[in-house]
Copies of this chain bind each other. A is one copy, B any other.
Amino acid sequence: MRIGMAQINVTVGDFAGNKKKILKTIREAKSLGVDILTFPELAICGYPPEDLLFKAQFIEENRQSLRKIVNSSSGINIIVGFVDFSKDMYNAAAVIHDGKLVGVYRKIYLPNYGVFDEKRYFRAGSECPIYMIGGVSVGVNICEDIWYEDGPTKDQVDSGAEIIMNISASPYHFGKGKIREKMLSDRAVNNVSFVAFNNLVGGQDELVFDGNSLIVDHQGQLIARGKQLEEDLLIADLDVAAVRCARLSDLRCKKGLSYSKDNQWRNTKLVISKVQLGSFKPSLPKRKLKLLSLNAEIYDALVLGTHDYVVKNNFQKVVIGLSGGIDSSLVAAVAVDALGKNNVIGVSMPSRYSSAGGILDAQLLAHNLGIRLQTIPIEKAFEAYFEILADTFRDTSPDVTEENIQARIRGNILMALSNKFGWLVLTTGNKSEMATGYTTLYGDMAGGFAVIKDVPKTMVYKLVKYRNTLAGNEIVPISVINREPSAELRFQQKDINNLPSYDLLDPIITAYVEKDRSLEQFISSGIDEDIARRVIRLVDASEYKRRQSPPGVKITPKAFGRDRRLPITNRFKG
């Protein structure tokens, strides 16, 4: 039996575009002799559609797309994610055979944690059917369903399923690929069945779906892997006879094949087609996909997330303030890889506090990347603010106010370029800054997309070095990497004077933000109490800033934003 998994990049709400892409893939799969072709979860409307699901017209267009896809499926079996609405709303998979909609599977486990809100929209399914397609027993389920050992997968196998086809929209964070692969392998081995996992690919606001679709055999061996962070059509021939043999010789399977009814869902078996599939086809060309390194994976996720945010929101060019620092250098490199050098404009906005080294490095970086660099000194505007505020600020001393004024002048200039020329502003703040609030609201935070907002400063360094290594030469000047971090908003300012060193800071942030560690736990793990207390206070007190920040690519297990929903008004002390 030949299965195909369409790892496509759809856009939320783009019914015409998504349909076109799905139909094109169906034609391609047919020409390649695919028996069963799957598409990701909610592929017809894009994921996550959020409150668009409350619009009747949205549901209707989703239904029309499905009808068109059904009508275009003669001679093939298709499984595709759509919104099933009849009295209640379900996150569903249509099972289509030769031009007819023959079944609908409704997702049973609805994630409502982390970035997910599925219980806001969907009712859980209550049936766990299997489909007999060409003499092969197929269980279909959706994303979260397969993460539960005793969930629909086991249930479907108990009913006789030999292949589990899971369609997913599983968002990326670093390290998740390995966890998924282990889980799928466990599921396959424990159920003595094939497991085929078809993931979505592409960026949607803060989420990146990383593709990396997988087919695992009943021994837990990886048969095929879809590209990471790229579209792909993954095709494999499954030797279902091997599953049957193994089950006959495996005690666990005898148990498995007996119909144990301790599950909570109703099982049905639907015979779709008795025609034997998968015979007389030329064999597939072998392909091996290497797994990306951790740095490559993260970097590519940033590139894909940035590309998709810009392009899906109908922008073509982006503008970035280049200080000669490492953060803006990384953002510029990502932007060039995402959009091409002709679509990236750098802007140098020196003030009285800008170092000559930084200014030169911005120029060198722009040269290395081959992008245009405009220089707009902000000194005149800075002086104007001093003048108009002179009366009001009489008898006060300079403080963070004057620093922020500069950052906000730069924000105003970048937004003026955006307004005048239609360029999207990319901001350059990293996660360490977003966490501690070491950033100016409406200043360096002003922009449409915050490329590295979920990348801790220590990881920024790693990614820059990775990108330089990849190029085989110095894209980001070595002096940028070696210069001590500074916001350059006052004379001889250094980050180290305001924050603990990033090597110390980042692990505390990770533990506090991603793992909800308490002050007591920090102290007992040997971290200096004053430092831990200060970091916690900074993180808590910066919630109001983060709430007004632009979206950016989630790459860690817990990003700021809807992954971590904290009140602004909050008197709890960590």
| Interfacial chain B residues near A401, Cβ < 8 Å | 416, 419-420
A565 within 8 A of B: yes
Number of copies: 2
A557 within 8 A of B: no
User: Contact at A564–B51, with CB atoms within 8 Å?
Assistant: yes
Shortest A316–chain B CB gap in Å is: 15
Which chain B residue shows the least CB distance to A314?
A: B571
In the assembled complex, the Cα of A409 lies from the Cα of B573 at a distance in Å of: 36
Q: Could you give, for residues 405-426 of chain A, a 1 whenever the CB lies within 8 Å of some chain B CB and a 0 otherwise?
A: 1001101110111011000000
User: Contact at A376–B404, with CB atoms within 8 Å?
Assistant: no
In the assembled complex, the Cα of A54 lies from the Cα of B515 at a distance in Å of: 9
Given contacts A11-B571, A569-B308, A571-B17, contact A400 B378 (CB under 8 A): no
Shortest A527–chain B CB gap in Å is: 16
A384 within 8 A of B: yes
Which of A92-100, A385-393, A501-509 sits within the interface? A385-393
Given B48, B408, B416, B573, which contacts A412 in the complex, CB threshold below 8 Å? B408
A150 within 8 A of B: no
A237 within 8 A of B: no
User: Contact at B48–A567, with CB atoms within 8 Å?
Assistant: yes
In the assembled complex, the Cα of A36 lies from the Cα of B441 at a distance in Å of: 49
Given B54, B380, B399, B516, which contacts A516 in the complex, CB threshold below 8 Å? B54
| Interfacial chain B residues near A119, Cβ < 8 Å | 112, 119
User: Contact at A385–B399, with CB atoms within 8 Å?
Assistant: no
A12 within 8 A of B: yes
Shortest A392–chain B CB gap in Å is: 6
| Interfacial chain B residues near A203, Cβ < 8 Å | 569
User: Contact at B572–A516, with CB atoms within 8 Å?
Assistant: no
User: Contact at A399–B419, with CB atoms within 8 Å?
Assistant: yes
User: Contact at B566–A52, with CB atoms within 8 Å?
Assistant: yes
In the assembled complex, the Cα of A309 lies from the Cα of B419 at a distance in Å of: 33
Report how many residues on chain A are interfacial, defined by Cβ distance under 8 Å: 84
Shortest A373–chain B CB gap in Å is: 12
| Interfacial chain B residues near A312, Cβ < 8 Å | 569, 571
User: Contact at B389–A380, with CB atoms within 8 Å?
Assistant: no
Within 8 A of B (CB), among A507-561: 516, 518-520, 544, 547-551
Within 8 A of B (CB), among A41-69: 48-52, 54-58, 61
User: Contact at A205–B569, with CB atoms within 8 Å?
Assistant: yes
In the assembled complex, the Cα of A342 lies from the Cα of B497 at a distance in Å of: 37
In the assembled complex, the Cα of A114 lies from the Cα of B468 at a distance in Å of: 47
A365 within 8 A of B: no
User: Contact at A389–B413, with CB atoms within 8 Å?
Assistant: yes
A570 within 8 A of B: yes
User: Contact at B117–A565, with CB atoms within 8 Å?
Assistant: yes
Provide 9 A-B residue pairs closer than 8 Å at the C-beta atoms, listed in order of the A residue: A17-B571, A56-B518, A117-B117, A374-B392, A380-B384, A381-B385, A400-B419, A408-B412, A441-B446
Q: A residues near B, CB below 8 A?
A: 11-15, 17, 48-52, 54-58, 61, 112-113, 117, 119-120, 203-205, 308-309, 312-313, 374, 376-378, 380-381, 383-385, 387-389, 392-393, 396, 399-401, 404-405, 408-409, 411-413, 415-417, 419-420, 441-442, 446, 448, 516, 518-520, 544, 547-551, 564-574
Q: Given A50-B567, A205-B567, A399-B419, 8 more contacts at CB 8 Å?
A: A11-B569, A13-B571, A119-B119, A205-B569, A389-B416, A411-B442, A441-B446, A548-B550
